Structure 1
């Protein structure tokens, strides 16, 4: 197999060092060559965002802050000689296509043409590390950039030496790529003869593997992002927080406040599941290899490149039924107060010539992050809802695709709408123009959304009625595809992630046998309660959680959910009894202790509040909410040094936490630590929301009444569609 291209001087350095010989040696000559290359780039490289900040507005750095010759990034083709399966999977993956796709190039070229190539360092810190750290993203750069078509290669990930604080935007430290270390453990860069690697596999592993590669924090280096003021010339704005969503989900085992529990599962547990190999790979164990396809939600890239295997596996991943649950939970007469619920468990009468509402509950059951994560403005996930009579005639529908491929504007879509200074939707993914978000309807992990549909049953209807609700997913949004290709392009795949159908008779309906896909009845009520809680329908939420306790009287989380609803309703006294009941069943229940501490604060019992939160932190030291509230409790109890410890611990979990910035600014000042206080005050001022931002959102919603209801937590989809 042909070896990758490598810079001529770099190859010469390797030869002088004896690397091409039969014995593996260290070679200081290569380090000198790299330093020489870095010095050369530095002579013309521009630093508009701060001295020696190679990647700013991104966060990527290299060891010793040196530029790395592009040829030093050993080719994936070279790695594929021994790791054929990993190479085959990688070649079709999003990582290998991170830079070259027309979707990414459209957005990043707009940025370059609008603001200059230096600004693209923000994006390419993750999409193109080799080009970035080679110094290619500079007006003065003059190099063959064809290597960038390989995107994030094997040695991009496997050369990261350590992680920076979890701020994203490429928060990693890159070393000079090496596939082996010498007898003293020093990395030997370059393409080592395969025979040497096979004779020293332990040294190979030491060079290319770090324990943190298996952690979610490794993924967080790029799967968390913000838009700094240096990028948008406005202010710091959160972009996406996929890692934070995972860290607070049930899968991290670091947060006691989740609604459901699960086994510990890092990002790799879903996106790098071990699969059977089809071609030889020295990294396989018992014929199984951690997947280097990183299956997730991107169907557009494999569709565009004709990578049918990747596309089929991605669609199967999305259709697996593991991640979402759709429940046609209830119906009610539009003018009536009572729910007929849960459907399938109770008898009822369904009249004709009546306007009814249908409650659809969509549960984010087993996704470790939100539906949808990351660049939400580009993705489309929505509910397709339809009601038909016995002849198949559609009585009502919502969430259909129009003839031009765009989504019905009245659809309930799990997306957001970023807007600019003028209240216009930020199309083309021009992220540097984002000033606010008009609404965000994504479903956080472990939570549920309630979608209401209202329609009239005709007097002469031919029963029975068939009601179907689906969650569909498309990557990418049709208008964005049009921006990239123009209106003439193939239809990109739409994948059904979950669905539910129920048949309702006009007149009498009897209970039905549950299907294997149905959640148990108590969970159906629980998911409704969670959704109503997020819609701020507190009385209805409590009623739903009370049904959970009717079915499971000893379910302590059911009691805690009742209490949580009272707390959000600001009825703190009512929350105490269910919390104490839950703690009587399980005295160390951290979730109950956390919410009891909130009640103790409102009832002015600081010692009890601190004691409860101390127990929570002892059990869950990475619980950001508990650290935050314990810091506040210590602050209010005039224990500044203890408060500082908690807020500093909180910043180690999330360096962007606003509460930590604000309180540390105050506390450091009181403790005479003026320099630290000024730093935290500046960070707070940078990261706090612009008070004018909601105005931009309101401007957008006024211009788009057809979707303005999506910004309201509680709303009904009423429009009759042809």
Structure 2
């Protein structure tokens, strides 16, 4: 301040203005730096960071110009015997020099001290000795890779709660997602336990590359280790954690079964250290300089549909089923061959290219450091077709999200009106506007009726249904009732035992083992083929025909309804997998249509005298 007051009486206007510019830049630099230090860098407030950088450059430029200008002005007045900076006292100069020297020494000491701390991360398996029954690869029979085929410390794969300490809203979304519960899902726990029981712990690597990458990459999946389905383990809590996706830097193939390359992030200062203070310091350093963190967490693979192919494509080979190579679920190539990928010759009413992420990771409003300038974040709730887990957890918000996702019109059903070719003709004149009118539709009492229902997959990016079609249930509930709601015909009703009518029209698959028996427990390591498979490719339709008789007792009109119904798990599998003989999973009506058809008396048909009253 003394220096500022003394300069006011001088006439060196240029030097004074440069000094004032340096002072204002310093003020802006301090305020923006204070904001960044407290709140961190945020994408939505990117201008604060940019102002901070500009202020730093302006400060350096104006301060250097101020000093050089002062020196030249002093030299021009030949005041060689006077002080170079007469407005700054000796004590201030010494204080500034001492502060600068202490800062340099402090940084040097801290750097040397941190460099002497041993690397807290291990690249050896968590359990030794580590078995290799499926070849020399550490992660076989999965296709997962790392640099040098090395193991990854579980702290570099897990600890998603640390990510959530900064990304709280996204963390809350992930907690409710199916990714988070990929290992703790009760059905998965049952199946992975069955696999380990029959094939050994090493066989779990096939499943855990996608359901519990922490257990796979850390080297737990060997004799004496713990798979992700064991409660209380880090892999059980994580499922597919943050690094389960953000740690994938490239896709190695489109074969699936974990066909990705995992690269752990470069450790920031205090990364991997236990305790509240190191965690806070670690998070603070990321917040004030997130550039490297953002780069490492935003691999190009994350925005590509190929990333989804690493786990949503599946096959089984001889090492697992003792028979041979068998193709299983494959959402990626179904999408690739459909109208929404931009890589096929198909056209459809919606020709816009859509990725997997556009449906399952949609942008939503949110308050997060990663939020865009428009205040949007990528939702990590990953809605799909798993309606059972949120129902079991009592998570009504996630359940409503799944229900809306399934009922958003991507699948439709249409009942083809039964236009008659034998409509009565007459010589009576009709107006021109009625000449293009379609033939009427109606039924006669006592005749045999034929109705077509058309199910169209008009918006699902892959086949409908997809995924675990061997244990899920999708079927058509078709019902015909008269004016008094008496059932004339019905297909796809639910029995008292909660089992769907076995004669209903299903969209599902029926895998079989090498003896030709039905593999109904989802123990796919016994699967060698498929007896039955029915699904609808994207952009295509399926026509289902129903034939029924019109009894003479019906009251006109008939109400015909067709509903595409969905249930996560058929009853037999649900009872086994969830150890509950009374389980009644929720049913979601994906699409529905209803029409009414008049019933007439045909004078040429003699009605039976035994009419239903």
The answer to whether TM tops 0.5 is: yes
Alignment of 1:89-168 (within 5 A): 89-141=173-225, 145-168=233-256
Residue 637 of structure 1 corresponds to none
Aligned-partner Cα distance in 2 for 1:264–1:171:
24
Check 1:456–1:282 CA distance in 2 against 1; reply closer, same or farther (3 A cut): same
Given that 1:332 and 1:357 are in contact with CA atoms closer than 8 Å, whether structure 2 keeps it comes out as no
Q: How far does residue 326 in structure 1 lie from its aligned partner after superposition? A: 0.7
Q: How far does residue 27 in structure 1 lie from its aligned partner after superposition? A: 6.6
Given that 1:418 and 1:434 are in contact with CA atoms closer than 8 Å, whether structure 2 keeps it comes out as yes
Aligned-partner Cα distance in 1 for 2:492–2:118:
59
Q: How far does residue 130 in structure 1 lie from its aligned partner after superposition? A: 0.5
Given that 2:143 and 2:259 are in contact with CA atoms closer than 8 Å, whether structure 1 keeps it comes out as yes
Q: How far does residue 487 in structure 1 lie from its aligned partner after superposition? A: 4.8
Given that 2:459 and 2:538 are in contact with CA atoms closer than 8 Å, whether structure 1 keeps it comes out as yes
Residue 686 of structure 1 corresponds to none
Runs (5+) with no aligned partner, structure 2: 1-105, 274-278, 424-436, 602-613
Check 1:382–1:29 CA distance in 2 against 1; reply closer, same or farther (3 A cut): farther
Q: In structure 1, which of residues 237, 242, 248 is the aligned counterpart of residue 331 of structure 2?
A: 242
Note if 1:175 corresponds to 2:272. no
Alignment of 1:552-567 (within 5 A): none
Residue 514 of structure 1 corresponds to none
Check 1:499–1:28 CA distance in 2 against 1; reply closer, same or farther (3 A cut): farther
How many positions carry a matched residue from both structures? 471
Given that 2:480 and 2:559 are in contact with CA atoms closer than 8 Å, whether structure 1 keeps it comes out as yes
Q: How far does residue 292 in structure 1 lie from its aligned partner after superposition? A: 0.2
Note if 1:76 corresponds to 2:160. yes
Superposed CA deviations along residues 477-507 of structure 1, whole A, max 9, x for unmatched, are 1111111234533421110111100011113
Aligned-partner Cα distance in 2 for 1:26–1:176:
20
Residue 386 of structure 2 corresponds to 298
Given that 2:384 and 2:402 are in contact with CA atoms closer than 8 Å, whether structure 1 keeps it comes out as yes
Aligned-partner Cα distance in 2 for 1:27–1:265:
47
Q: Look at both structures and tell me which one has the larger radius of gyration over its CA atoms.
A: 2
Q: In structure 1, which of residues 225, 234, 238 is the aligned counterpart of residue 314 of structure 2?
A: 225
Aligned-partner Cα distance in 2 for 1:239–1:25:
54
Given that 1:372 and 1:414 are in contact with CA atoms closer than 8 Å, whether structure 2 keeps it comes out as yes
Residue 538 of structure 2 corresponds to 445
User: Over aligned residue pairs, what C-alpha RMSD do you find?
Assistant: 2.8
SS at match of 1:497: strand
Given that 2:419 and 2:441 are in contact with CA atoms closer than 8 Å, whether structure 1 keeps it comes out as no
Residue 266 of structure 1 corresponds to 355
Alignment of 1:454-533 (within 5 A): 454-507=547-600
Runs (5+) with no aligned partner, structure 1: 1-17, 339-343, 509-722
Residue 54 of structure 1 corresponds to 138
SS at match of 2:197: helix
Q: How far does residue 115 in structure 1 lie from its aligned partner after superposition? A: 1.3
Q: How far does residue 124 in structure 1 lie from its aligned partner after superposition? A: 0.6
Aligned-partner Cα distance in 1 for 2:442–2:222:
71
Alignment of 1:262-661 (within 5 A): 262-277=351-366, 280-285=367-372, 286-321=374-409, 323-331=410-418, 345-507=438-600
Superposed CA deviations along residues 22-48 of structure 1, whole A, max 9, x for unmatched, are 98999797768423x34x75x511101
Aligned-partner Cα distance in 2 for 1:358–1:371:
23
Residue 67 of structure 1 corresponds to 151
Aligned-partner Cα distance in 1 for 2:351–2:111:
49
Given that 1:472 and 1:495 are in contact with CA atoms closer than 8 Å, whether structure 2 keeps it comes out as yes
SS at match of 1:130: helix
The two structures have a TM-score, normalised by structure 1, of 0.62
Residue 202 of structure 1 corresponds to 291
* Range moving further from structure 2, 385-394 or 374-383: 374-383
The two structures have a TM-score, normalised by structure 2, of 0.72
SS at match of 1:395: strand
Aligned-partner Cα distance in 1 for 2:554–2:145:
67
Check 1:23–1:405 CA distance in 2 against 1; reply closer, same or farther (3 A cut): farther
Q: How far does residue 178 in structure 1 lie from its aligned partner after superposition? A: 4.4
Aligned-partner Cα distance in 2 for 1:32–1:487:
45
Given that 1:419 and 1:426 are in contact with CA atoms closer than 8 Å, whether structure 2 keeps it comes out as yes
Q: How far does residue 73 in structure 1 lie from its aligned partner after superposition? A: 2.4
SS at match of 1:427: coil
Superposed CA deviations along residues 269-291 of structure 1, whole A, max 9, x for unmatched, are 000111123xx321222332111
Aligned-partner Cα distance in 2 for 1:214–1:28:
39
Check 1:412–1:426 CA distance in 2 against 1; reply closer, same or farther (3 A cut): same
Q: How far does residue 148 in structure 1 lie from its aligned partner after superposition? A: 2.8
Residue 606 of structure 2 corresponds to none
Residue 211 of structure 1 corresponds to 300
SS at match of 2:521: helix
Given that 1:250 and 1:260 are in contact with CA atoms closer than 8 Å, whether structure 2 keeps it comes out as no
Check 1:32–1:287 CA distance in 2 against 1; reply closer, same or farther (3 A cut): closer
Note if 1:34 corresponds to 2:122. yes
Check 1:483–1:337 CA distance in 2 against 1; reply closer, same or farther (3 A cut): farther
Aligned-partner Cα distance in 1 for 2:535–2:152:
40
